Homo-oligomer: A and B are copies of this chain.
Amino acid sequence: MSMEDNDLKAIDYELTLLVRRATSAAIDKRLGNLERSHYLMLYELSRNGTMGVKALADAFHLDMSTASRQAAALEAKGYVERLPDPEDGRASFFQLTEYGEQELQNTKQTRLDRFNKLLKDWSTEDRQKFVELLSRLNRTFID
């Protein structure tokens, strides 16, 4: 076992711990009024305009059944509206509603506030580096 393996092991352990803590209710599961899964989906919709179940599932590498249920939940809560796809009778598009947009902004702010507190002692350089490394890792996962 090489010296560098220790870093990798530590990364694995810390990430696993982080995921556990985030899954555990208090930290990340729900912030603002939105569940994590709903937050992500609304976020994606706000960036992309409208998307169908397939596109949402692909964007997050989720099973379509999962994406379908989450989109239905968002619709039931009034965060999104379902529009028929004029070119494909099987498909539909989801679009953020005014209310969904509001909740998304609220939740973004709540989450920002949390990280402001949590990372208040971090230097700008460390924050930037953390973004960079997290992004790189996420992009790697996605391939």
Contacts and interface: CB of A to CB of B under 8 A. Distances in A.
A119 B11 contact: yes
A134 B14 contact: yes
Contact of A5 (B13, B61, B112, B129): B112
B131 A118 contact: no
The prevalent SS among residues of A at the interface is helix
A91 B118 CA distance: 36
A40 B135 CA distance: 25
A138 interface: yes
A55 interface: no
Interface of A: 4-5, 7-24, 26-28, 36-37, 39-40, 43, 60-62, 108, 111-112, 114-116, 118-119, 122, 124, 126-131, 133-138, 140-142
